[in-house]
């Protein structure tokens, strides 16, 4: 194992350059540790995001050696066995500065996909008992753990080609709600996720599924939405 | 174009793809049969002339291509060339009509020759 890591870090906004830093190599070192070392010891003006450091918040996602990852859960030895790291902001999102992206468009698309709960009851009604083993609940549970880190969104070719495309995370969220028996927004949600900017734009490349740190399969959720929208169209409900 | 119309195009292209999967398989098997048995053009035309079965099959093939190809081209134009909108849709609809016209003309030629 080399004593040092040769790290290239993106500096600037949409326009900028990679700058090189030499960082001491340590055991069990994460990529976030490397970025933090640079910011605290070498380049105090470096901008980056993190919060929990344990893979719960999803705020530290960056492009590491060309692949979108959570930096807090990525060991250097896994992605840079020869001691060379290139760290850039996430793709498909505007860069605010250095490693910080503007996530507005990502979350706006969750709203466009009707990614919020449409309740069927009020807070005064009894709590609904949801059976955990129904097919619908299993489908909802399969995607419910998404924490909105945008790794899937940054990995999606269709987002790169079609700026209006809702993207894997928003569509995965829509599919979890379609399978939530307490939700009443199915019809309006299917209309929201249909068409050139919706689930039908997905080419099933599966980059989102391959790279999701939570092992969620947005591709399967999108396939579910395709089936549901087609069924609704044939039934005259869309 | 409304999202509902876009969904209809998507459904039409997928149905077209399913039909093409069958048609291409049958077409390739027929070609392999013709080559392996050394059928001449005359022998092939003898089999297709006044044959409603082959004519119906290739009409279906041509119509599936005419639906499938322009819709796929529409996606490619939008994603790779940045071309979209009504003008592109009109041009691609014309492409579909042209594909259908030349394809059906070819079917007619081997049916009525």
> Regarding beta strands A100-101 and A4-12, do their DSSP bridges make them parallel or antiparallel, or are they unpaired?
unpaired
What whole-number distance in Å separates Cα of residue A30 and Cα of residue A70?
Answer: 10
pLDDT reported for residue A81: 87
What whole-number distance in Å separates Cα of residue A72 and Cα of residue A66?
Answer: 16
Tokens linked to A135: 């097919």
Q: Which of A195, A226, A234 to mutate to test the interface with B (most CBs of B within 10 A)?
A: A195
All domains in chain A, ordered by first residue: 4-101 (3.10.20.30), 104-234 (1.10.1060.10)
Provide, rounded to the nearest whole percent, the portion of chain B with pLDDT above 90.
Answer: 98
pLDDT reported for residue A1: 63
Q: CB–CB of B3 and A230 under 8 A?
A: no
Per the listing, tokens 């092992």 go with A215
What whole-number distance in Å separates Cα of residue B15 and Cα of residue B66?
Answer: 12
Please list every residue in chain A whose beta carbon sits closer than 8 Å to the beta carbon of residue B8: 233
What whole-number distance in Å separates Cα of residue A100 and Cα of residue B14?
Answer: 40
What whole-number distance in Å separates Cα of residue A237 and Cα of residue A97?
Answer: 45
Of chain A, the end-to-end C-alpha distance in Å amounts to 59
pLDDT reported for residue B113: 76
CATH number of B3-112: 1.20.1300
Residue B18 touches chain A, beta carbons under 8 Å: no
Q: CB–CB of B8 and A194 under 8 A?
A: no
The long-range contacts involving A45-48, CB below 8 angstroms and separated by at least 24 positions, are: A46/A9, A46/A11, A46/A98, A46/A99, A47/A96, A47/A97, A47/A98, A47/A99, A47/A100, A48/A98, A48/A99, A48/A100
pLDDT reported for residue B12: 97
Average pLDDT over residues B9-27: 97
pLDDT reported for residue A238: 87
pLDDT reported for residue B69: 98
Backbone angles phi, psi at A154, to 5 degrees: -70, -20
Average pLDDT over residues B18-32: 97
Query: Nearest residue on chain A to B74, judged by CA atoms?
Result: A196
Q: Which residues of chain A have pLDDT under 50?
A: none
pLDDT reported for residue A16: 97
DSSP letter for each residue of chain A: --SEEEEEEEEESSSEEEEEEEEE--TT-BHHHHHHHIIIII-TT-----S-SSSSS-TTEEEETTEEEESTT-BHHHH-TTSEEEEEPPTTS-EEETTEE--HHHHHHHHHTT-S--BSS-TTSPPPP--TTSHHHHHHHHHTT-----HHHHH-HHHHH-TT---HHHHHHHHHHHT-TTB--HHHHHHHT-STTTGGG-----HHHHH-TT---HHHHHHHHHHHHHHHHHTT--
Per-residue model confidence as pLDDT tens digits over A63-92: 999 999 999 999 999 999 899 999 999 999
């Amino acid at each position: 194992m080399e004593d040092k890591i040769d790290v290239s870090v993106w500096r600037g906004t949409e326009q900028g350059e990679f700058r090189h830093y030499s960082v001491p190599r340590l055991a069990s070192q994460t990529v976030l540790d490397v970025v933090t070392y640079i910011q605290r010891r070498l380049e105090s003006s470096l901008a980056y995001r993190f919060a929990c450091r344990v893979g719960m918040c999803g705020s530290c996602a960056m492009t590491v050696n060309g692949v979108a990852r959570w930096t807090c859960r990525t060991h250097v030895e896994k992605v840079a066995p020869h001691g060379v790291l290139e760290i850039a902001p996430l793709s498909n999102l505007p860069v605010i500065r250095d490693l910080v992206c503007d996530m507005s468009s990502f979350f706006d698309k969750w709203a466009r996909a009707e990614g919020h709960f449409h309740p069927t009851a009020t807070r005064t009604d009894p709590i609904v008992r949801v059976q955990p083993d129904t097919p619908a609940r299993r489908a909802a549970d399969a995607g419910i753990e998404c924490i909105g880190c945008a790794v899937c969104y940054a990995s999606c070719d269709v987002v790169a080609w079609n700026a209006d495309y809702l993207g894997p995370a928003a569509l995965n969220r829509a599919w979890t709600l379609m399978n939530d028996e307490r939700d009443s927004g199915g019809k309006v949600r299917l209309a929201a996720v249909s068409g050139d900017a919706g689930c039908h734009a997905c080419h099933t490349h599966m980059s989102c599924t391959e790279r999701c740190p939570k092992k969620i399969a947005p591709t399967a959720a999108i396939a579910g939405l395709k089936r549901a929208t087609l069924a609704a169209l044939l039934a005259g409900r869309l | 174009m409304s999202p509902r119309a876009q969904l209809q195009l998507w459904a039409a292209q997928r149905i077209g793809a399913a039909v093409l999967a069958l048609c291409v398989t049958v077409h390739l098997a027929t070609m392999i049969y013709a080559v392996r048995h050394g059928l001449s053009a005359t022998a092939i035309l003898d089999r297709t002339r006044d044959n409603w079965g082959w004519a119906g099959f290739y009409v279906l093939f041509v119509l599936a291509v005419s639906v499938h190809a322009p819709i796929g081209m529409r996606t490619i134009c939008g994603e790779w060339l940045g071309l979209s909108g009504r003008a592109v849709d009109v041009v691609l609809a014309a492409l579909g009509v042209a594909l259908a016209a030349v394809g059906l003309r070819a079917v007619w030629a081997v049916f009525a020759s």
